[in-house]
Structure 1
Amino acid sequence: MRRHADEDVAVPEPAYGSTEEDEGHLVQVVVVGAGIVGAAVAYEAARAGAEVALLDKSLPASGVTADSFAWIGGPRGGDVPDPGTALRRRVLQDYRRLEEEVPGLRVRWRGALMWGEEQLDDGCLAPGEHVVDATEAGLLEPRLRVRPMRALHAESHGAIDPVAATQALVRAAQEHGARLMANSAVTALDLRDRQVRGVRTSNGSLPADTVVVTAGVDAPMLCGPLGFDLPVAPSPALLMRFTAPPGLVRTLVATPHLEVREAADGHLLVAAGYDGEIDQDDLRRAGEMMLRRLTATFDVQDVNLVSVRLGTRPMPADELPIIGPVPGVGGVYIAVMHSGVTLAPTAGRLIASEIVDGVEAEQLAGLRPARFRSRDEW
């Protein structure tokens, strides 16, 4: 709360802050959740001059970030625009910026080759997209057993190692003065007169002017006591790792039955949705089924399943990012989305601009938590 200089009257905080509330007082920002979104927010806010603490119940990138396929790409030419389109349009540019700014953050810009889901219209392609024929597809992916007659080549797309990228962002945030508080679970937000004052953690309390909740599927637990039911549910997904000859898959290949790319260590990564039981036998069977699809798609026999990981992606009810202030509560800001790895650099930049510099981002206008009804409105 701010007070007028000539009277002892509390004045509510504006929705968006500024670097200095009073002369010499930096905004204290607590970021809850050290996945890639939280790491990006911490980096951008610290770089903008805020006093930042980044908290996580475990270690950075130890949650769903580590289970991400980590496909980096902007909107597709045939996509129907939605409130998240403006955010996605800047993703590639922001990742290239972070490659210049953040030591150790690297994108493998190998492009993506996609086919089989929809008709390809040469007249509605995004920049960097091209329709290719079977010969061109074979040049891009020589080991394909059957080459698609028509495919979409998005040459500007890439992928990252999400754990390495998150760790690089955390180190960069620390270089700008941010504190990392790992193994420190946030159990509640401290409020006074509907204004945040800090957070309570497993290791004690911490003051804050602004709390940014980037805790994925844990975010609803923190928002519930505020009277706001955050409509985010866990969406299970598998990330499978295979050994394979180097260079077997050159681009990011996406078909209706297979999404596969080569990781930096030479292994193949395959992503898939999952609606089975959390059972090791079921997970192994899913991995073996994907192994059969790999060998049916690519001319190779020497491929072996290494591991199958089950992750829980945070999926908003309308599948759009939820980014902005919690209605009716001062100083609490939400940033929950799928895919966080894709959107992190752009979301982090815009969020920091709002909470530190007080500049409201037009690109986030249709993504605010206020689009959902608070409990008091029922």
Structure 2
Amino acid sequence: ARRLVFERQRSRGRPAPADLHEVTAAEAQELFPPLARVHGAIYSRGGARVDGRLLNRALHAAAEARGLVVQRGGVERLVIEGGAVRGVVVDGETVASDAVAIAGGAWSEAFAAQLGVTIPVAPQRGQIIHLGLRGADTGRWPVVSAFHHHYLVAWPDSRVVAGATRETGSGFAPQTTAAGVREVLSEALRVAPGLAPAEVREIRVGLRPLTSDTLPVLGPVPGVAGVFLVTGHGPSGLTLGPYSAKLVAGQMLGKTPETDLSAFSVARFGSPPR
């Protein structure tokens, strides 16, 4: 199993985690009591978890403390003159700017026609279920992954989060579905049957921005000076989004990013047919 993890990481061009330990079936159940009887498992002490809502609030508060001004409204179009952006039209009013970042999530494609580029970003629905285990001390339980996109994440308040569906082709329909709930619960109970008595506390659903090649779109838009894209992270937005934003914000300020972003340019998709 340990070799499988290393081979998988190597095939993805990533270094394998340094702190990996093989554990027995009994040790795995001791770490995560609801777990099914398994042949064995790999345990990493270097893993971590993050609450997306709290992270978002923290980033927002930190940015406002450094001068961020938030204006909420519906963006109608970009103002482009002489091959360069001059601002955006928000609820009928023009907000002047010589640099604009489009971080429109699953709706980013709406700007493609005006920019003259192809932005193949479409919504992928994801459904996540929060389970409550009354009286269980879940705070020290590790994240559980069964080598695919489903996972179990325990939190200190006797809560285990089971996720998540990846419903490509869902369209703009952010609603809970019977099929999605069945998928998440079936996989959660297959991996950890001890969760069967848990109460369903909450079901969350959202739309991920997924590109046609599953890679994000980052950096300047060719042919329109001052417009930048930060979108298409799919299911990795929570972890990659802040770093991507840092790199592209640097580009907007005229800095060379510490990571080469050329492979993520929107230019890879070509121009739309005319």
Residue 290 of structure 1 and its aligned partner are, at CA, apart by 4.0
1:286/1:234 CA distance change after superposition, 3 Å: closer
What is the deviation of 1:151? 2.0
1:117-136 map, 5 Å = 125-136=16-27
Q: Count residues in correspondence.
A: 260
For the 8 Å contact 1:354–1:361, the answer to whether it is kept is no
Q: 2:177: which partner in 1? A: 283
Distance of 1:341 and 1:279 partners within structure 2: 18
Asked if the contact 2:154/2:160 (under 8 Å) is kept, the reply is yes
Matched, 1:251 2:145: no
Aligned position for 2:271: 374
| Alpha-carbon separation, structure 2, partners of 1:269 and 1:229 | 36
The sequence identity of aligned pairs, in percent, is: 25
Partner of 1:142: 33
Amino acid of the structure 1 residue aligned with 2:16:
L
AA of the residue aligned to 2:71: M
Question: 1:237·1:272 contact (CA, 8 Å) conserved in 2?
Answer: yes
Q: C-alpha displacement at 1:207, in angstroms?
A: 0.9
User: Structure 1 residue 355 and structure 2 residue 249: aligned?
Assistant: no
* Cα displacement (A) at 1:358: 2.0
Deviation at 1:225, TM superposition (A): 1.4
Contact 1:283–1:308, Cα closer than 8 Å, also in 2 = no
For the pair 1:322 / 2:217, whether they are aligned, the reply is yes
Distance 1:257 1:225 in 2: 35
- CA distance in 2: counterparts of 1:155 and 1:144, whole angstroms: 18
Residues 265-304 of structure 1, C-alpha deviation per residue, up to 9 Å, x if partnerless?
4432111225498697x72464356445545524355311
* Cα distance in 2 between the residues matched to 1:229 and 1:292: 38
**Structure 1 CA distance for aligned equivalents of residues 253 and 24 of structure 2:** 49
| Alpha-carbon distance, 1:251 to partner | 1.1
Is the 1:241–1:308 contact (alpha carbons within 8 Å) kept by the matching residues of 2?
A: yes
Contact persistence 1:161–1:264 (CA under 8 A): no
Letter in 2 for 1:213: I
- C-alpha distance in 2 between matches for 1:187 and 1:279: 22
Q: Tell me which of the two structures has the higher relative contact order, counting C-alpha pairs closer than 8 angstroms and 6 or more residues apart.
A: 1
Q: What is the CA distance between 1:141 and its match in structure 2?
A: 1.6
Q: Which residue of 2 aligns with 1:157?
A: 47
State whether residues 284 and 308 of structure 1, in contact with CA within 8 Å, keep that contact through their aligned partners in structure 2: no
SS in 2 for 1:352: helix
Q: 1:80 to 1:192 in 2, by over 3 A?
A: farther
- Give me the whole-angstrom Cα distance separating, in 1, the residues matched to 2:258 and 2:247: 6
Which residues of structure 1 form unaligned runs of 5+?
1-75, 90-123
| Cα deviation, residue 342, structure 1 | 1.0
- What is the RMSD of the two structures over their aligned residues, measured on CA atoms? 2.9
Task: With the length of structure 1 as denominator, give the TM-score of the two structures.
Answer: 0.61
User: Equivalent residue of 2:35, what SS?
Assistant: coil
Offset from partner CA, 1:210-266 (integer Å, 9 cap, x none): 111111111110232111120111111111122223335811112259421124544
Find out whether 1:340 has 2:234 as its counterpart.
no
Which residue is 1:7 aligned to?
A: none
1:79 pairs with 6, 9, 13, which one? Answer: 9
Q: Does 1:223 align with 2:112?
A: yes
- What secondary structure, in the 3-state scheme, does the structure 2 residue paired with 1:179 have? coil
Q: 1:267: which partner in 2?
A: 159
**Residue identity opposite 2:213 in structure 1:** D
Mapped to 2, the partners of 1:257 and 1:81 lie a distance apart of: 17
1:367 offset after TM fit, Å?
Answer: 1.3
Paired with 2:207 and 2:251, the residues of 1 have a C-alpha distance of 28
From 84, 87, 110, give the equivalent of 1:198.
Answer: 87
Superposed CA deviations along residues 329-378 of structure 1, whole A, max 9, x for unmatched, are 110000111211010232122222222242244332311111110237x7
Which of 172, 175, 185 lines up with 2:62 in the alignment? 172
The SS at the match of 1:205 is strand
Q: AA paired with 1:373?
A: G
Paired position in structure 1 for 2:202: 307
Q: Any stretches of 5+ residues in structure 2 without a counterpart?
A: none
